[in-house]
């Protein structure tokens, strides 16, 4: 794996770089052959809060995790745990699908992750997802500020609405930092 480690508001020391490579490199043990992937690591500090984001794009799987902690080394440990959980979840999902269809296990070793000989189809990516509830409602035309007020009043973390200015369907959402975001379709 190729590591791209960046720091914002901080200097990435050689010892920090080595620690990240050592810890994130542990995810390779879940694969029978080491994956050929770029590992994008972004570390930043705000006040006393250390944050790390790790993104590992692979052919049929995108691993991404972020974590905040008062200590950067602890944040690295926590983000690696999240990545490992994602890999195990993906492994379980793929194996379950093939056990139900009566074919052999996809994974060669107990903890290894390999691709199928035939590859995955597009519909394989969506199996294992169970919708437990469907809601239908009319989209009331409003501006983003009114949508934020409605979202807060309902106690939700996002709100779908029809933009009164252009008629597009938009989404407002509450970010981790407590501020708000707006999702609009591209023109």
What is the pLDDT confidence band of residue 187, given thresholds at 50, 70 and 90?
confident
Q: Cβ atoms within 10 A of the Cβ of 49, count?
A: 11
Q: Are residues 110 and 145 in the same domain?
A: no
Q: Are residues 14 and 101 in the same domain?
A: yes
Per residue in 124-157, pLDDT (tens digit) is: 444 567 777 888 877 888 888 888 888 887 778 8
Q: Are residues 15 and 92 in the same domain?
A: yes
Contacts of 68 (CB under 8 A, 6+ apart): 49, 50, 51, 75
Q: Pick the residue with more confidence: 172 or 62?
A: 172
Domain span including residue 170: 141-183
76-94: average pLDDT: 85
Which parts of the chain fold into alpha helices (H)? 14-24, 72-100, 144-154
Is the distance from CB of 170 to CB of 144 less than 8 angstroms? yes
Q: How would DSSP label each residue in 14-53?
A: HHHHHHHHHHHGGGGGGBSS----EEEEEEEEETTEEEEE
Domain ends where: 65, 98, 114? 114
Question: Which tokens go with 40?
Answer: 């994008």
- Dist CA 84 CA 64 (whole Å): 11
Contacts of 7 (CB under 8 A, 6+ apart): 42, 43, 44
Provide the b/e sequence for 156-183 (b: ≥16 CB within 10 Å): eeebbbebeeeeeebbbbbeeeeebeee
47 conformational bin, left if phi > 0, alpha if psi -120 to 50, beta if neither: left
Residue 75 clears pLDDT 90, i.e. is over it: yes
Per residue in 36-63, pLDDT (tens digit) is: 888 999 999 988 899 999 988 877 677 8
- Which span out of 16-20, 60-64, 89-93, 115-119 was modeled with the highest average pLDDT? 16-20
Residue 163 clears pLDDT 80, i.e. is over it: yes
- Write down the pLDDT at residue 106: 41
Q: Are residues 104 and 167 in the same domain?
A: no
- Write down the pLDDT at residue 100: 67
Distance of CA 180 to the CA centre of its chain: 19
Contacts of 112 (CB under 8 A, 6+ apart): 30, 31, 32
- Write down the pLDDT at residue 181: 93
> Is residue 130 situated within a structural domain?
no
Mean residue pLDDT across the chain: 80
User: What is the domain count for the chain?
Assistant: 2
> Is residue 164 situated within a structural domain?
yes
């Amino acid at each position: 794996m190729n590591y791209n480690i960046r720091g914002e508001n901080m200097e990435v020391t050689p010892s920090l770089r080595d620690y990240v490579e050592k810890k994130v490199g542990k995810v390779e043990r879940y694969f029978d052959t080491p994956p050929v992937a770029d590992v994008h690591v972004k570390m930043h500090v705000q006040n006393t809060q250390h944050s790390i984001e790790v993104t590992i794009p692979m052919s049929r799987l995108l691993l991404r995790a972020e974590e905040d902690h008062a200590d950067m080394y602890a944040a690295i440990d926590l983000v690696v745990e999240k990545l490992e959980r994602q890999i195990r979840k993906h492994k379980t999902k793929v194996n379950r699908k093939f056990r139900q269809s009566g074919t052999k296990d996809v994974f060669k070793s107990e903890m290894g992750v390999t691709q199928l000989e035939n590859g995955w189809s597009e519909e394989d990516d969506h199996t294992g997802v169970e919708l437990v509830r469907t809601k239908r409602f009319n989209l009331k035309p409003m501006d983003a500020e009114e949508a934020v007020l409605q979202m807060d009043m309902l106690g939700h973390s996002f709100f779908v609405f029809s933009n009164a200015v252009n008629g597009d369907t938009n989404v407002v959402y509450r970010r981790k930092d407590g501020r708000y975001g707006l999702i609009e379709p591209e023109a």
